[in-house]
Amino acid sequence: MKTLFWFTAFSLLWVSATLAADPAKRPIKVFILAGQSNMEGHAKVETFDYIGDDPATKPLLEKMQDDEGNPRVCEGAWISYLTGRG
């Protein structure tokens, strides 16, 4: 419980400080990706092909790939997760 408290407190402090430092910048986008732990490490780039097959999700694929069809690299992105906590 303490870990969750400190993680939340630090996250709010970091976001507040970042926004206060330069309010003219675009807003921060936060993506929370959640899934089953038994799928960890099993995602494949080939899944992108199926996203392009569905007309409803095809625009999303265009944002995920460059003009040559390669996955876009997001600089400055980081991942945080807890393990071994049940």
Q: Is residue 14 part of a domain?
A: yes
Does residue 73 lie within any of the structural domains?
no
Alpha-helix runs per DSSP H in 22-72: 47-53, 58-64
- Supply the pLDDT for residue 15: 74
Q: What is the pLDDT of residue 43?
A: 66
Identify whether 69 is part of a domain. no
On the question of pLDDT at 31 being above 80, the answer is no
Within-domain flag for 28: yes
- Using alpha carbons, select from 41, 37, 42, 43 the residue that is nearest to residue 84: 37
Is the pTM here over 0.85, yes or no? no
CA proximity to 79, closest of 19, 35, 47: 35
DSSP secondary structure, 12-29, as one string: HHHHHHHHHH-TTSPPPP
For residue 70, give the nearest of 42, 41, 48 by alpha carbon: 48
> Which pair of structure tokens corresponds to residue 36?
């089953």
| Count: domains in the chain | 1
What is the reported pLDDT for 56? 92
Residue 78, in any domain of the structure: no
pLDDT band for position 16 (cuts 50, 70, 90): confident
Instruction: Look at 14 and 85; give whichever has higher pLDDT.
Output: 14
Q: Would you say residue 74 lies in a domain?
A: no
- Domain assignment present for 85: no
Residue span of the structural domain in which 41 resides: 2-64
**Is 79 inside any structural domain?**
no
Q: What is the pLDDT of residues 34-63, one digit of tens each?
A: 666 665 666 677 777 788 898 998 898 888
Find out whether 5 and 31 touch, Cβ atoms under 8 Å: no
Higher pLDDT, 33 or 12: 12
